[in-house]
Structure 1
Protein backbone atom coordinates (compact mmCIF):
# COMPACT_ATOMS: atom_id res chain seq x y z
CA UNK A 1 0.00 0.00 0.00
CA UNK A 2 1.35 3.41 -0.95
CA UNK A 3 1.07 6.46 1.23
CA UNK A 4 1.18 9.96 -0.15
CA UNK A 5 1.38 13.21 1.71
CA UNK A 6 -0.25 16.36 0.47
CA UNK A 7 2.35 19.09 0.89
CA UNK A 8 0.49 21.90 -0.86
CA UNK A 9 0.35 25.09 1.10
CA UNK A 10 -3.07 26.31 2.10
CA UNK A 11 -4.11 29.43 3.88
CA UNK A 12 -4.88 28.13 7.30
CA UNK A 13 -6.60 31.05 8.88
CA UNK A 14 -9.00 33.79 8.08
CA UNK A 15 -6.41 36.25 9.37
CA UNK A 16 -4.15 35.37 6.42
CA UNK A 17 -6.99 35.99 3.96
CA UNK A 18 -7.89 39.30 5.62
CA UNK A 19 -4.26 40.46 5.54
CA UNK A 20 -4.03 39.60 1.84
CA UNK A 21 -7.24 41.51 1.13
CA UNK A 22 -5.96 44.54 3.03
CA UNK A 23 -2.65 44.43 1.15
CA UNK A 24 -4.52 44.28 -2.16
CA UNK A 25 -6.71 47.19 -1.11
CA UNK A 26 -3.65 49.26 -0.15
CA UNK A 27 -1.95 48.49 -3.45
CA UNK A 28 -5.03 49.46 -5.44
CA UNK A 29 -5.40 52.63 -3.42
CA UNK A 30 -1.78 53.58 -4.16
CA UNK A 31 -2.38 53.07 -7.89
CA UNK A 32 -5.47 55.28 -7.76
CA UNK A 33 -3.50 57.97 -5.91
CA UNK A 34 -0.88 57.91 -8.67
CA UNK A 35 -3.63 58.18 -11.27
CA UNK A 36 -5.27 61.16 -9.54
CA UNK A 37 -1.93 62.96 -9.09
CA UNK A 38 -1.00 62.44 -12.74
CA UNK A 39 -4.37 63.74 -13.94
CA UNK A 40 -4.10 66.76 -11.66
CA UNK A 41 -0.58 67.64 -12.79
CA UNK A 42 -1.40 67.25 -16.48
CA UNK A 43 -4.58 69.31 -16.15
CA UNK A 44 -2.48 72.16 -14.75
CA UNK A 45 -0.51 72.36 -18.01
CA UNK A 46 -1.69 74.66 -20.76
CA UNK A 47 -2.54 73.34 -24.22
CA UNK A 48 0.82 74.40 -25.64
CA UNK A 49 2.77 72.48 -23.01
CA UNK A 50 0.57 69.43 -23.53
CA UNK A 51 1.13 69.70 -27.27
CA UNK A 52 4.90 69.79 -26.67
CA UNK A 53 4.51 66.51 -24.78
CA UNK A 54 2.37 65.07 -27.57
CA UNK A 55 -0.72 64.79 -25.37
CA UNK A 56 -4.22 66.01 -26.23
CA UNK A 57 -6.26 67.23 -23.29
CA UNK A 58 -8.87 64.56 -23.96
CA UNK A 59 -6.17 61.88 -23.67
CA UNK A 60 -5.15 62.85 -20.12
CA UNK A 61 -7.21 60.12 -18.38
CA UNK A 62 -5.76 57.42 -20.65
CA UNK A 63 -2.21 58.70 -20.16
CA UNK A 64 -2.74 58.78 -16.40
CA UNK A 65 -4.15 55.22 -16.37
CA UNK A 66 -1.11 54.00 -18.28
CA UNK A 67 1.28 55.89 -15.97
CA UNK A 68 -0.40 54.41 -12.89
CA UNK A 69 -0.50 50.89 -14.30
CA UNK A 70 -4.29 50.69 -14.26
CA UNK A 71 -6.20 48.78 -16.92
Structure 2
Protein backbone atom coordinates (compact mmCIF):
# COMPACT_ATOMS: atom_id res chain seq x y z
CA UNK A 1 0.00 0.00 0.00
CA UNK A 2 1.41 3.38 -0.98
CA UNK A 3 0.83 6.62 0.87
CA UNK A 4 1.24 10.09 -0.52
CA UNK A 5 1.84 13.01 1.70
CA UNK A 6 0.54 16.24 0.37
CA UNK A 7 1.88 19.40 1.86
CA UNK A 8 -0.54 22.26 2.17
CA UNK A 9 -0.02 24.79 -0.53
CA UNK A 10 1.01 28.16 0.77
CA UNK A 11 -0.55 31.05 -1.04
CA UNK A 12 2.12 33.35 -2.31
CA UNK A 13 0.80 36.49 -3.90
CA UNK A 14 2.06 37.20 -7.35
CA UNK A 15 3.52 40.51 -8.39
CA UNK A 16 0.18 41.36 -10.02
CA UNK A 17 -1.65 40.68 -6.74
CA UNK A 18 0.73 42.93 -4.82
CA UNK A 19 0.47 45.66 -7.46
CA UNK A 20 -3.33 45.44 -7.45
CA UNK A 21 -3.43 45.71 -3.66
CA UNK A 22 -1.15 48.77 -3.68
CA UNK A 23 -3.25 50.35 -6.42
CA UNK A 24 -6.40 49.77 -4.33
CA UNK A 25 -4.66 51.36 -1.31
CA UNK A 26 -3.79 54.43 -3.38
CA UNK A 27 -7.36 54.70 -4.70
CA UNK A 28 -8.71 54.51 -1.15
CA UNK A 29 -6.27 57.16 0.06
CA UNK A 30 -7.23 59.48 -2.80
CA UNK A 31 -10.94 59.03 -2.07
CA UNK A 32 -10.40 59.73 1.63
CA UNK A 33 -8.37 62.85 0.88
CA UNK A 34 -11.06 64.05 -1.54
CA UNK A 35 -13.71 63.58 1.16
CA UNK A 36 -11.57 65.43 3.70
CA UNK A 37 -10.97 68.39 1.39
CA UNK A 38 -14.60 68.62 0.30
CA UNK A 39 -15.89 68.53 3.88
CA UNK A 40 -13.30 71.01 5.10
CA UNK A 41 -13.94 73.44 2.24
CA UNK A 42 -17.73 73.24 2.59
CA UNK A 43 -17.57 74.05 6.29
CA UNK A 44 -14.84 76.67 5.94
CA UNK A 45 -16.91 78.87 3.63
CA UNK A 46 -19.78 79.09 6.13
CA UNK A 47 -20.02 82.16 8.30
CA UNK A 48 -19.62 81.94 12.06
CA UNK A 49 -23.36 82.40 12.45
CA UNK A 50 -24.15 79.54 10.06
CA UNK A 51 -21.67 77.32 11.88
CA UNK A 52 -23.25 78.26 15.21
CA UNK A 53 -26.67 77.29 13.83
CA UNK A 54 -25.18 73.86 13.10
CA UNK A 55 -23.59 73.69 16.54
CA UNK A 56 -20.05 73.77 15.12
CA UNK A 57 -17.19 75.98 16.23
CA UNK A 58 -14.73 77.13 13.58
CA UNK A 59 -11.90 75.40 15.44
CA UNK A 60 -13.74 72.06 15.05
CA UNK A 61 -13.83 72.09 11.25
CA UNK A 62 -10.58 70.16 10.83
CA UNK A 63 -11.63 67.48 13.33
CA UNK A 64 -15.03 67.07 11.68
CA UNK A 65 -13.43 66.76 8.24
CA UNK A 66 -10.96 64.18 9.54
CA UNK A 67 -13.79 62.15 11.09
CA UNK A 68 -15.79 62.31 7.87
CA UNK A 69 -12.87 61.09 5.75
CA UNK A 70 -10.96 58.71 7.97
CA UNK A 71 -13.48 57.79 10.65
CA UNK A 72 -11.07 58.90 13.35
TM-score grouping bracket, smaller chain normalisation: 0.7 to 0.9
Q: Partners in 2 of 1:63 and 1:51 — Cα distance? A: 14
Q: Which ranges in structure 1 are unaligned for 5 or more consecutive residues?
A: none
Which residue matches 1:44?
45
The structure with more radius of gyration: 2
Q: TM-score, normalised by structure 2?
A: 0.83
Q: TM-score, normalised by structure 1?
A: 0.84
Judge conservation of contact 1:35–1:65 (CA < 8 Å) in 2: yes
Q: Please list every run of at least 4 consecutive aligned residues from structure 1 whose deviation after the TM superposition is greater than 4 angstroms.
A: none
Q: Which ranges in structure 2 are unaligned for 5 or more consecutive residues?
A: none
Query: What secondary structure, in the 3-state scheme, does the structure 1 residue paired with 2:7 have?
Result: coil
Give the length in aligned residue pairs. 70
Which residue matches 2:12?
10
